[in-house]
Amino acid sequence: MQDRFLVTGGAGYVGSHLVALLAERGAKVVVLDNLRQGHRAAVPAGVRLIEGDASNVEALDAVLAEGPWTAVFHFAALSLVGESMRDPMRYLLENAAGGMRLIDACVRHNLKKFILSSTANLFGEPERVPIDEAARIDPSSPYGESKLMIERTLRWADQVHGLRSACLRYFNAAGADPNGVLGEDHDPETHLIPLVIDAALGRSGAITVFGTDYPTADGTCVRDYVHVTDLGEAHLCALGQLDRQSVTYNLGNGSGHSVRDVIASVERVLGRPVSLRFGERRPGDPAALVASSALIRAETGWTPRYAALDAIVASAAAWRVAHPNGYGDRAPAERAPTVLADRPALPDRTAA
Ligand code: UDP
């Protein structure tokens, strides 16, 4: 029987790269995405897009009733560490409570497999790097906390209801589809690699380095950048495990690159200098997050194809050069209201 997958957030950055892989393999895919961060143009022809929130119980019941489903992939989420430090309740309500509603709906509709986009941010300031799956959990932001709450909910959904799950803790998703069709288009863009590329291309001013006094070799934050297509492949590897058991995997390349390393890589790849300024630390940022992905490699044979930082940066740069306006599908003023738009705005406590 043809595999059928529901992908929440499948029009977003990481989700769309997985959807492309699933569609290439001949699966039937339905994307549920509210298009707040996602893009209609990122959903391939032949894949049905339902515009709606992944926490909307009516929308979920309607689509899940169309089963049987092989699995649900859950990408839809708010995902900015800094923003979550300013508005934690929004992150906990939308991500954690919203994710719990989705899991509840999956249980009620008797789904058996669930794959979660989780995050390295739930490790907080790690005791040692590389970070394996047994490392101490201590989220450094409400964003990480919200993902942890979903992970914990999934444990009970498995234990009590038999919903098997894969919790995939991404380190820093980066790069773009090697076919040049999909890429990173956030509004606003806050991620380091696209911002440095824009600075090198002269599309923005100097890049601000957030903190130069971290306990790292050059004083700037160290991250493990992992190519978004490799992440997509890891989802397929993890799915294969769910016939036997639930799994949790850390996903990275196992090599740490500082903010300065990323800037140097962009300069090498584009052959252009990047101007810098040095700013304060960004609240919620741990000094160094580097993955041990030994477990998924050993259990599934997952092998990242685009492990080198320059390869990741080159694919991101190629997409950004070819798509100066990203998917070009919306002006900032046209962005849809948030689910919790009726909540009054909170003061920005971290900005003082
Ligand atoms: N960063 C920076 N300047 C920027 C954006 C990011 O110095 O304009 C740093 C940030 O503090 C972090 C790293 O780059 O250490 C990666 O940040 P990003 O937002 O890309 O991903 P995150 O680590 O938050 O998932």
Using alpha carbons, select from 155, 90, 86, 89 the residue that is nearest to residue 118. 155
Ligand 1 proximity of 83 Cβ (cutoff 6 Å): no
Residues labelled catalytic = 143
Tens of pLDDT, residues 174-215: 999 999 999 999 999 999 999 999 999 999 999 999 999 999
Tens of pLDDT, residues 257-272: 999 999 999 999 999 9
Residue type, 244: R
H-type alpha helices, 109-172: 142-161
Answer yes or no: is 347 within a domain.
no
Ligand 1 proximity of 282 Cβ (cutoff 6 Å): yes
Helix 142-161, helix 98-108: angle, nearest 10? 20
**Domain CATH number, residue 31:** 3.40.50.720
Q: Which residue from 86, 171, 192 has its CB within 8 A of the most atoms of ligand 1, so it is best to mutate?
A: 192
Ligand 1 proximity of 172 Cβ (cutoff 6 Å): yes
Q: Tokens for 202?
A: 């002269």
Q: What is the pLDDT of residue 341?
A: 32
- Please tell me whether residue 347 adopts helix, strand or coil conformation: coil
Q: Are 114 and 72 in contact (CB under 8 A)?
A: yes
Q: Which domain holds residue 296?
A: 4-322
Answer yes or no: is 337 within a domain.
no
Q: How far is the CA of 281 from the centre of ligand 1 (A)?
A: 10
Answer yes or no: is 238 within a domain.
yes
Tens of pLDDT, residues 123-177: 998 999 999 999 999 998 999 999 999 999 999 999 999 999 999 999 999 999 9
Atom of ligand 1 nearest to the CA of 222: 15
Q: What is the pLDDT of residue 86?
A: 96
Q: What is the pLDDT of residue 331?
A: 54
The string over 103-137, giving b where at least 16 C-beta atoms fall within 10 Å of a residue's C-beta and e elsewhere, is bebbbebebbbbbbbbbbbbbbebeebbbebebee
Answer yes or no: is 8 within a domain.
yes
Answer yes or no: is 73 within a domain.
yes
Answer yes or no: is 332 within a domain.
no
User: CA 151 → CA 128, 146, 284, distances in Å?
Assistant: 22, 9, 20
DSSP per residue, 12-63: SHHHHHHHHHHHHTT-EEEEEE-SSS--GGGSPTTSEEEES-TT-HHHHHHH
Q: How far is the CA of 142 from the centre of ligand 1 (A)?
A: 16
Ligand 1 proximity of 209 Cβ (cutoff 6 Å): yes
> First CA to last CA across the chain, in angstroms?
57
Ligand 1 proximity of 75 Cβ (cutoff 6 Å): no
Q: What is the pLDDT of residue 134?
A: 96
Domain count, the chain: 1
Atom of ligand 1 nearest to the CA of 120: 25
Q: What is the pLDDT of residue 217?
A: 98
Q: Grade residue 349 by pLDDT with cuts at 50, 70 and 90.
A: very low
Tokens 């058996």 -> residue? 112
Answer yes or no: is 343 within a domain.
no
C-alpha 284/C-alpha 91 separation (Å) is 14
| DSSP run (H or E) holding 8 | strand 4-8
**Burial (CB count within 10 angstroms: exposed 0-12, middle 13-18, buried 19+), residue 159:** exposed
Q: What is the pLDDT of residue 284?
A: 83
Residue with the larger pLDDT of the pair 82 and 225: 225
